[in-house]
Chains A and B, each alone.
Chain A
Amino acid sequence: EDKVVQSPLSLVVHEGDTVTLNCSYEVTNFRSLLWYKQEKKAPTFLFMLTSSGIEKKSGRLSSILDKKELFSILNITATQTGDSAVYLCAPRSGNKLVFGAGTILRVKS
């Protein structure tokens, strides 16, 4: 059975802090791993990772994948209150994305 575990489940930080969100997975027919930010209903695409060890960056966010250890991390530096959201990790198994429960991030001003 496909499994995705994200940690921590939730965290509260202050503006300017750096956070690291973790995702471990076990899925069949792995093709890629995606990260999304969910604030209300629609998840917003952040990154898609297909190769191990290659960091993807977008502004203050970055992510990396380890296909040997079946693990990915999402880093956010210099956090802002607008970063408050649920962050979803979703490895692709065949045709579908398998979602973790998410990490709830709250950034206090």
Chain B
Amino acid sequence: GAGVSQSPSNKVTEKGKDVELRCDPISGHTALYWYRQRLGQGLEFLIYFQGNSAPDKSGLPSDRFSAERTGESVSTLTIQRTQQEDSAVYLCASSLDGTISYEQYFGPGTRLTVT
């Protein structure tokens, strides 16, 4: 039983470049979440996918951030024209069904550093 996986584990990019972060949820989990954790701060919600429903994008900080999910599988989070304040650990989580209170399981995260 594989857990949530994310790639890459670390990414260093220059300011202004675009980056793509990938998340593979636990098989059979219909709900997928992205969170961000800046250094020394708590996790912030970014976006939520539930099955084929329209995603909840209410946590995305700007229009430079977008995310996609293909069906109930892989998700990619894209950050365009990266800024230094985007440096953070980006965490993905999945749960069995987001419409019910199931626990969310987190992946190992991608540490993004914008220079």
Contacts and interface: CB of A to CB of B under 8 A. Distances in A.
B60 to A, nearest CB: 12
Contact of B106 (A42, A94, A96): A42
A76 interface: no
Nearest to B31: A95
Contacts, number: 58
B48 A50 contact: no
Interface string A31-46: 1101010001111110
Interface string A87-105: 0101010111111111000
Interface of A: 4, 31-32, 34, 36, 40-45, 48, 50, 88, 90, 92, 94-102
23 contacts: A4-B42, A32-B101, A34-B104, A41-B89, A41-B108, A41-B109, A41-B111, A42-B106, A42-B109, A45-B105, A45-B106, A48-B101, A48-B102, A48-B103, A95-B50, A96-B45, A96-B48, A96-B56, A97-B35, A98-B45, A99-B42, A99-B44, A101-B42
